[in-house]
Amino acid sequence: MRGGAWHAHGPMERDAGRLLDCLLPLVADDRPWVVGQLGQSLDGRIATHTGASYYISGWEARVHLHRLRALADAVLVGAGTAATDRPQLTVRHASGPSPARVVLDPRGRVPHEGPLFEAAPAGSVTPPTLLLVGWDVGPVGGLPEHVSALPVDTDQDSGRIRPQQVVTQLAEVGYRRVLVEGGGVTVSRFLEAGLLDRLHLLVAPMVIGSGRPGLSLPPIDTLDQALRPRVRRFACGEDTLFDVDLRA
């Protein structure tokens, strides 16, 4: 890589080159970053009204998500996603290490069961799981060895953990590259707070018609107030990846 661009020393398939174009901003230097990721339908839904979301995104889009995980120090989800989807948040469909798993759980409502709380099979490395809980929750006991809880301040009005505080505290424990994977409410809060460097929005050729929305921000009065970031588009199988640069 020279001058902020990559250079191949031999033949390269077009798809491989476009992949490098997409991921280069995340590996070009050692600076910290926060990237949001959502997989949604054409009409902006990330799940049905019952919470069913497996799978809106196609196979290639899921591989891309695993590549993002492999580049991150930590992957973060909200309490709703952790409780409803019971995700693993590990790297299985790409090369690279699994990041630490971080759950925003200000009220301590996520059940301590499922993949995030289970040890990996013998011979495999179990990535750490970090629960960010409100001080009102009190001591969290009975956790597996790879799981820890960190009490943090919450907003007095909403009871939520402030996104800026999350980024600061994760950096203090060494997690400087953070992938905010979901759900829609959590990604939206980080976007509203101006903390996302990039947003990878994967749009599937599907119309759900109702259900849970992806991005949801406070209402605006005029289009002059709308965000107009620089966007690049990439084919990701049958899905379309919108690489949204929120720092340009």
CATH number at residue 88: 3.40.430.10
- Tokens representing 43 are 């009409």
Give tens-digit pLDDT for 87-103: 999 999 999 999 999 99
Least trusted range by pLDDT, from 15-24, 173-182, 191-200: 15-24
Tell me the average pLDDT across 112-137.
Answer: 92
Whether 8 is in a domain gets the answer no
Count: domains in the chain: 1
Q: Is 24 helix (H, G, I), strand (E, B) or coil?
A: helix
Q: What is the rounded average pLDDT for all residues in the chain? A: 90
Share of the chain above pLDDT 70, in %: 92
Tell me if 98 is assigned to some domain: yes
- The reply to whether 18 falls in a domain is no
Express each pLDDT in 16-44 by its tens digit: 566 677 888 788 777 899 999 999 999 99
Tell me which residue has tokens 């009190």: 138
Residue 199, class by beta-carbon neighbours within 10 Å (0-12 exposed, 13-18 middle, 19+ buried)? Answer: buried
SS3 64: helix
Indicate whether 11 belongs to any domain. Answer: no
The answer to whether 83 and 104 are in contact (CB under 8 A) is no
Beta strands 33-40 and 177-182, pairing class: parallel
CA atoms within 13 A on the CB side of 39: 24
Q: Which residues contact 100 (CB under 8 A, 6 or more apart)?
A: 73, 74, 75, 127, 128, 129, 130, 175
Strands of the chain, DSSP E: 33-40, 45-47, 74-78, 100-104, 129-134, 147-152, 177-182, 198-203, 212-213, 230-236, 239-245
Mean pLDDT of 107-135: 92
**Which range of residues forms the domain containing residue 178?**
33-117+126-216+229-245
Predicted local confidence at residue 14, as pLDDT: 60
Is 137 within the bounds of a domain? yes
The mean per-residue pLDDT over the stretch 198-211 comes to 97
Q: What is the pLDDT of residues 36-86, one digit of tens each?
A: 999 999 999 999 999 888 889 999 999 999 999 999 999 999 999 999 899
Is residue 7 domain-resident? no
